Amino acid sequence: MILVTGGAGFIGANFVLDWLAQSDEPVITLDKLTYAGNPENLQSLQGDARHTLVQGDIGDRDLVAQLLATHQPRAVINFAAESHVDRSIHGPGDFIQTNIVGTFNLLEAVRGYWSGLAATEKAAFRFLHVSTDEVYGSLKKDDPAFTESSHIEPNSPYSASKAASDHLVRAWHHTYGLPVLTTNCSNNYGPYHFPEKLIPLLIVNSLAGKPLPVYGDGQQIRDWLYVKDHCSAIRRVLEAGRLGEIYNVGGWNEKANLDIVHTVCALLDELRPRADGQPYKNQITYVTDRPGHDRRYAIDARKLESELGWKPAETFETGIRKTVLWYLDNPAWVAHVQSGSYRDWVSKQYGSVAHDKVAA
């Protein structure tokens, strides 16, 4: 049995689905079910005795302690986090509460449970904390990629809150001996991605005939990782990672945001052409850059490859095609997540330009 926190969100849900596709080991999913925690992501597991979804907050120490005592998991994988930079700029308080205070309460509940285990189970237990490359800050164009020993220099409320949670996890290992593992991943993309993030927003807006908002000059560079590759990396780190260690997870796919936009547009031109025959790139609209926007992220994932033999299975070209096809094949999921609150958020963040119809 494993306990997965934040398991109804984008990466967490993909992890739970992939885990149960490859293993009969049961999963308890704990998720607060905020706007990004969507039980519909796990709909295919309804009626599956191997999976239980519990609505709750990692900050609720009593609830977490009860789940641990009842189900006796051999591992906790922590995906639970507020994760959107733009939202953290508008409302940092939620990020402090979930990512810092919530992680603290989760660690304390887990520490209490782990301390009471028999020696064999105690030695086998793992707490795996999923984090982000954004804690390392921003790179210049010719800087080497982030390694596990790079300085921690977060530049947004989101990345600062994640950096703080990483430090807590490290401290609970060194102070209390809690058997922890931490992964810092690059930008994920793939199925079930909430359409406030770049790639799903591009797909959704393109098909709706709306502008495709690009921050600044669009030359911000990110390392892109297909979400199912990320899931396989986490499974491998859980299986064989060295206690107390950090493992960077990257896709070896550095791309400028504007290149991503053009790639998605070209795929949609091929797979779902506009009725008027015009290319989707005509919908590109430049918007004011976000405050403190990091210029470049890049992950050096050689430690994970050399120690544990992991490397991504997908190239960006194969992964992005699978992603676009998934959104084209799942219009009901897209429609359901685009609630009134989602539309209000897009209008607030990008202005009316991102919400109004594009003239033919």
Q: Which of 224, 231, 198 is nearest to 212 (CA)?
A: 198
Please list, in sequence order, all residues whose beta carbon lies within 8 angstroms of the beta carbon of residue 295, skipping any fewer than 6 positions away: 138, 139, 140, 141, 219, 220, 221
How high is the pLDDT of residue 196? 77
How high is the pLDDT of residue 352? 42
How high is the pLDDT of residue 88? 80
Q: What is the pLDDT of residues 23-46, one digit of tens each?
A: 999 999 999 988 778 889 999 999
- Residue 224, pLDDT > 50, answer yes
Q: Higher model confidence: residue 112 or residue 295?
A: 112
The backbone torsions φ and ψ at residue 55, rounded to the nearest 5 degrees and listed phi first, read: -85, 125
- Residue 342, pLDDT > 80, answer no
Calculate the average pLDDT of the chain.
91
Contact in structure between 316 and 223 (CB atoms under 8 Å): no
What is the token pair recorded at 230? Answer: 């990320």
Residue 354, CB-side half-sphere exposure with 13 Å CA sphere: 24
Contact in structure between 16 and 80 (CB atoms under 8 Å): no
- Residue 116, pLDDT > 70, answer yes
The backbone torsions φ and ψ at residue 313, rounded to the nearest 5 degrees and listed phi first, read: -85, -25
Q: Which of 147, 138, 297 is nearest to 222 (CA)?
A: 297
- Residue 131, pLDDT > 70, answer yes
Q: What is the pLDDT of residues 47-90, one digit of tens each?
A: 999 999 999 999 999 999 999 999 999 999 999 998 767 778 88
Q: How far is CA 7 from CA 48, 56, 114, 161, in A?
A: 16, 11, 21, 20
Residue 322, CB-side half-sphere exposure with 13 Å CA sphere: 17
Query: What is the amino acid identity at position 335?
Result: A
Q: Higher model confidence: residue 226 or residue 347?
A: 226
Give strand pairing partners of 34: none
Contact in structure between 73 and 90 (CB atoms under 8 Å): no
Active site residues: 133-134, 158
How high is the pLDDT of residue 348? 54
Please list, in sequence order, all residues whose beta carbon lies within 8 angstroms of the beta carbon of residue 298, skipping any fewer than 6 positions away: 139, 143, 145, 146, 186, 221, 223, 250, 254
pTM above 0.85, yes or no: yes
Please list, in sequence order, all residues whose beta carbon lies within 8 angstroms of the beta carbon of residue 18, skipping any fewer than 6 positions away: 228, 231, 232, 235
Q: What is the pLDDT of residues 163-220, one digit of tens each?
A: 999 999 999 999 999 999 999 999 999 999 988 789 999 999 999 999 998 988 899 9
What domains sit in the chain, N to C, each tagged with a CATH number?
2-194+224-253+294-314 (3.40.50.720)
